[in-house]
Structure formats: structure tokens, C-alpha cells
A and B are shown apart, each in its own frame.
Chain A
Amino acid sequence: KAGVTQTPRYLIKTRGQQVTLSCSPISGHRSVSWYQQTPGQGLQFLFEYFSETQRNKGNFPGRFSGRQFSNSRSEMNVSTLELGDSALYLCASSGSGADTQYFGPGTRLTVL
């Protein structure tokens, strides 16, 4: 079974630009969650999508948004990038029940 895939793996943007990150979950998984990891703040929950609906949202500004498609693939978008948005963005997928979450390799975003 293929794992969680994320594209692109690396991104360099400048302040004020916007960026879209993509996540393809494990086949059959309907839940996709996004996390931001930085050295200062650690791992922080961004949002979770289940069957195309946002089910949970973390404490991030409205510049961070996401969506999920009918094939469970998910995208997150960050508009008006700030230097502090530089981070590793991790996507995780989960199957039914209280399964563990399987994390993708991450997208490392650098904002200059």
C-alpha cells in the first residue's frame, strides 16, 4: 500500500506571495490532517478534513486555508506569506476507527 505523499517537497517563496501544498492520503483513508512544525512552536494542528468537510480547525489565522476533494486528496493554501510561515508542513491520513495517523514526508517551505 502506498503511503501518504506530499508535493512539492521543498518550496522557496518570498513574503507576500501565496502557496498551495498538496497531500494524497493512503488509499481508502478519508481523513486528512495538516500540521505545521517549527523549531520554536513545535508541532501544531492546522486543520482536519473528512469526506470533503473541514471537521476541526486549529488556532491559525485565516491566511491558512484548506480543502479536500472527492478522491480524499487535500490541499492547503497560505496567502500573503510571512517569514514566520517558514516551516515543515506535514499531512497525515487516517482510516476508520481510532487508527493511528500516518504522516507524509512533509513539504519544507522557506519564506524569504
Chain B
Amino acid sequence: ELKVEQNPLFLSMQEGKNYTIYCNYSTTSDRLYWYRQDPGKSLESLFVLLSNGAVKQEGRLMASLDTKARLSTLHITAAVHDLSATYFCAVGLSGYALNFGKGTSLLVTP
């Protein structure tokens, strides 16, 4: 059974600081996704990582994938309040089925 573990599950950080969210998974997969969810909303796609060493950046967020270590990271640079949300990583199974982590609830405070 594929397990996806995120840590930390809760993160409170000050504006302007940097931090990293980790996503470990237990079985080989060629697809790793990051999503954002705001309270009461649906999931918004952030990144799709398809190969070992893949790195993608969008604004203050940067995601990377190490398939050999079965690890993906989501790095937050100089956090701002608008980044407060829950972040999920998900690993691709067969077809388009995804196995999600529990999510990291991020709160950015002044």
C-alpha cells in the first residue's frame, strides 16, 4: 500500500521567513503533485513533478523531487500572509488516481 507522509502537519511562521514542507512516499511513482486548499474551497494545482531532480518555481514557492529518496519538498521563501492555506502533496498511482498526504496547515503571521 502506498503511503504518503507530510511533515510538519501544522506550521506557524512569521512573514518574511523561509521554511520547507516535506513529503515522503513509500512506493516508486513517476508523478508527484502539490496542491493548495483554502478553507472551504477546492484544491488548486501548484506543481506537477514528473522526473528525478525536477524543480519548479512559482513566486515564493519552489518544489523539488528526488525519486531515489522518494522525497519531495515544497520550499517557501519570504512568506507572506496570502500563503496561509493547507498544502497537500499527492503521489500518482495507476492512471490518474492520486494518493494524498494528510496536508500541512500553514499559518503566516505578521
Contact = CB atoms under 8 A, between A and B. Distances in A.
Same assembly: yes
Interface of A: 31, 33, 35, 42-45, 48, 50, 55-56, 58, 90, 92, 94, 98-106
Contacts of B45: 100-103
Interface string B36-74: 000001111100101000000000000000000000000
A89 to B, nearest CB: 11
Given A42-B103, A90-B42, A90-B43, A100 B97 contact: no
> Secondary structure at chain A's binding surface: helix, strand, loop or mixed?
strand
Contact of B98 (A33, A55, A105): A33
Interface stretch (B11-19, B20-28, B75-83, B87-95): B87-95
Interface residues of B, number: 25
B42 A101 contact: no
Contacts of B94: 55-56
Given A56-B93, A56-B95, A105-B42, A42 B31 contact: no
Nearest to A54: B95
B42 A33 contact: no
Contacts of A44: 100
Contacts of A101: 33, 45, 96, 98
B57 to A, nearest CB: 16
B48 A98 contact: yes
Interface of B: 30-31, 33, 35, 41-45, 48, 50, 88, 90, 92-103
Nearest to A88: B42
27 contacts: A31-B95, A31-B96, A33-B98, A35-B98, A35-B100, A42-B102, A42-B103, A43-B88, A45-B93, A45-B98, A45-B100, A50-B95, A50-B96, A55-B96, A56-B93, A56-B95, A56-B97, A90-B42, A98-B92, A99-B48, A101-B33, A101-B45, A101-B98, A102-B45, A103-B42, A103-B45, A106-B42
